[in-house]
Every structure is written in structure tokens, then in C-alpha cells.
Amino acid sequence: MIVMKFGGSSVANRGQIEKVLAIVRSARERAPVVVSSAHKGITDALVNAAKAAASGELDSEQIAPIERQRELLAELECPPDLLDPFFAELGDLLRGISLVKELSPRSLDYVSSFGERMSVRAIADFMTRNGLPARAHDVWELGFVTNSKFGRARPVEGWELGCREAFARLPADEVPIVTGFVGKNDAGEITTVGRNGSDLTASLLGGALAAEEVQIWTDTDGVMTADPSVVTGARNIPHMRFDEAAELAYFGSRVLHPSTLLPAMSSDIPVRVLNTNRPEHCGTVIETIAAPNPSATTSIAYKEGQSVLVLRTTRMFAQVGFLARVFEVLGRHRVDVDMISTSEVSISLTSANRPGLEAAAAELRADGEVELHHGRAILVVVGRHLPERPGLGVRILQGVAGAGVNVEMISYGMDSINFTMLINDADIGRAVAVLHEMLFEPSGPETKPGPTA
């Protein structure tokens, strides 16, 4: 068995879904389980409709996701009434939100779920009519029971047994087309695992079902040496270790959801990232023990929209437990820290949670002088051989400085596989371009072979 996840761009229209059909048909002997995202743009339209309903502006926004889905049904030549029950349910839900003028996390998950629930039914219908028997399934029908953390739900302990039993009952002659991104809690309330979470759904199912591998089908040739939208010369990385891919996913790589790799790592199931538009390409295989990579570096990633909190106080000096107090405040305001640097009298830390950081800053002013800065980006160079190359960090910083980019913070742990810098959002393009030229292009100083792992 293999689990094949197709993202929104892979199921965006009939042309793309025809490619998906051909890919799944070619894998039929491997017992594929297909996990699908919503059609491209539908989830954004649903979220906008929910927000508009909460503000009382219902009519025009409500129509957008329904009309786009109707257009896709017509493109696929599905029965025009295939999704009428969903359109009616969605309309009732948005009207209810507009009446109370309140959009709770639970209601937002409910609205957001319609994208995947509608797409799997349209895709299954299209595949069946084109010679590949398929059936749509909401993932909760297959044992995917979650907790009640709306917007970031995770499966409850022991869910895997129910999942395996549910899949064992499915007809062997049909391809399951399963909703990604969504779930249900024990109370029967719809939850989501977070935006772009269909990758995570696929990885969790792969682990539960002991799949041969999990395939993530997207619109790039696997994981790349940099964001192709920023660096036109970005190259494919054929083999990666889980720890390298996890660092890249967390620090902004657009290919994988940050949590995708955890279930695969714990089950030791390879994750293969492939291009729906070029299925013949080898893509990237991510596994525990990867093929040797002679380059010092693997890839460059960035994570924009960071805010920085700087706390300066002499009360830190030789004070046991001061940092514990700071992190207790951050924890209460749900601030997830990405970078941190400390001295005897100051702390600098970053987070993408601006509201939480602002709330924490108000409390921490009782302990010293606090500054907040916004519009920053984390820029990270990942490579399994970074600790083995003396002076590489210096050359990275020189390269960034040569591009006229100021580095405001640095983080590099002992034996770390990532070298992390904080820069201005506006400088991402220049910094990534110069680093890619230096580290990955033939004339760069770091492209010559080095020691293997």
C-alpha cells in the first residue's frame, strides 16, 4: 500500500485532475490510498466567506466558493446536483454566522472543511466515470478521530487501530479518495489539523496503515535547494534525511507541512515528494538514512512575518530562574519562539505570533526595558555537513553582507545542521539569491565535494 497526497494545485482544474488520474492509475498495483486537498483557491474563498458573514457582509462572499465549485463540476462533467447537499449546508452555516456575527474557531473549522469534502467527491466521480473505480471518504469515517483543538487538531491516542479496521473493510476494487486537512472529535464536531495540513493527514495515515511509502504530489520537482519563485536556478535534492527536511519544513520551505514528517519518522516510512506536472521526475526521497550528499549545504529556506522582542534588564545578572519567568509569560500567551539569543543583561527572541508577543511584552515591561520590532524574516541554511566545514559560517555572513543585507541575530547550536539568521523581510530576495549562487552554483566556493556522512 502507498499513500498518495495531491495538493490544491494538483487538483486545481480538469487538466490537473486528468494528470492525477493517470498517476493513480499507473500505481494501481500498489494499492494506492489517495488523500486530496481542496481545489486550489477554494479554502481561501471559504475562509473569506466565513469572515464576511461574521461582519454581516454575506451575499457576495457566500457565492464565491459555491460558484467556483460549480464551475469545476461542469469542467469535470459531474452530475450538476452532485454537491447540492453541501451547497445547502454551507449556505445555512454562513447565514447562521451572519446572524450571530461571531466566528468561533469551531465554526471556522466547519466552514473550512467544505473544500476537501467537496473535492474528494468530484474527483472520485470523475475517476469512476473515466475507468478507475473510486469512492470518496471523509477521513473521520476511516477512524481519524481528533482532539478538540480547533484549527490545530491531532488524532487521539489509539486512533490507529480503528483506522486499520476501517480500511480493512473497504472494497479492494475501489481507490479510496480521502479528505485531507479535516477530522472529527469524539463529540462529532468537525476539526482541522491546520492550513496546508493534508500532508500531515497523509503521513498519519501512512504510519497507521504501515504503508510502503507516503508520496506528496505538488507542483515542484521535489524539495529544492531554494524557493524556485525567488531563485530561478534552484535545483532538485534527490535524497534527504528526515532531520534536514524537518528543519526546512519548519523554517519556511513551501513543499511540506512542518508536522508532516513526524509520523513518518516514528514509523520509519519514506516520504517521496513528486511533481504532478512531471511524474517521470525522480523528485526527492526523505528517509532516516539518506544517500551521501557531498555538499556542505542542502537547502536554503526562509520564514517571513517574524516579530522580535528585546528585553534588557540588569535584573538578569546572575539571577537564577529569570529565563524561566520569561518563558512562563510567553507560554501563557501561546508564543512559540523560533530564535533566541541571550547575554547577561538582555534577551532577544522571535515569533510569528505578533499579538501574543505584544501581550507578553506588556507583562515583561515590569522586569525591564522592552522593545518590539516587526517585519523580520528568519533565513536558514541547512546542511548535514555544516559542523565539519571550518569557516563556512563566516563565508555565509560575508555573502549576505556583500548583498547589502544586515544580519540582526544569529543562531547556531553545537553540531547543528542549520545556520540561522534574522534579516528584514524586504531583504529576502537578495539574501537568498546570493547564498544560492555561493553555495550551489558551479562557480560557488562550496560546490566542490566534501566528506560524506
| Region 177-197 average pLDDT | 94
How many domains is the chain partitioned into structurally?
2
Establish if 266 belongs to a structural domain: no
343 pLDDT above the threshold of 80: yes
**How many angstroms separate the CA atoms of 217 and 184, rounded?**
25
pLDDT at res. 448: 40
In the block, which residue shows the cell 531554494? Answer: 226
pLDDT at res. 445: 46
| Region 110-114 average pLDDT | 97
**How many angstroms separate the CA atoms of 243 and 251, rounded?**
12
CATH of residue 377's domain is 3.30.2130.10
For 372-427, the pLDDT digits (tens) are 999 999 999 998 888 878 888 899 999 999 999 999 999 988 888 899 999 999 99
Model pTM?
0.87
Establish if 413 belongs to a structural domain: yes
Residues contacting residue 207 through CB under 8 Å, at least 6 positions apart: 160, 263, 264, 266, 267, 269
Give the containing element (helix H, strand E) for 122.
Answer: helix 114-129
| Region 315-322 average pLDDT | 74
CA distances to 48, 177, 201, 325 from 111, in Å: 10, 20, 18, 39
pLDDT at res. 5: 97
pLDDT at res. 305: 92
Strand, helix or coil for residue 53: helix
Establish if 449 belongs to a structural domain: no
Give the structural domain span for 337.
299-440
Annotated binding residues for substrate, written as ranges, equal: 43, 116
CATH of residue 211's domain is 3.40.1160.10
CB atoms within 10 A of CB 304: 16
Answer yes or no: do 46 and 193 share one domain: yes
Establish if 251 belongs to a structural domain: no
Establish if 452 belongs to a structural domain: no
Answer yes or no: do 171 and 42 share one domain: yes
pLDDT grade for 61, boundaries at 50, 70 and 90: low
Annotated binding residues for ATP, written as ranges, equal: 5-8, 218-219
94-108, 243-257, 333-347 — most confident range: 94-108
Domain boundary among 168, 192, 218: 218
Answer yes or no: do 211 and 108 share one domain: yes
Establish if 232 belongs to a structural domain: no
Establish if 400 belongs to a structural domain: yes
Establish if 262 belongs to a structural domain: no
Answer yes or no: do 78 and 198 share one domain: yes
Cβ atoms 1, 211 nearer than 8 A: yes
Annotated binding residues, written as ranges, equal: 5-8, 43, 116, 218-219
> What string of DSSP letters covers 53-73?
HHTT--HHHHHHHHHHHHHHH
Answer yes or no: do 430 and 327 share one domain: yes
CA pseudo-torsion sign 140, 144, 147, 153:
negative
429 pLDDT above the threshold of 80: yes
Nearest alpha-carbon partner for 217 in 123, 311, 132: 123
Answer yes or no: do 349 and 200 share one domain: no
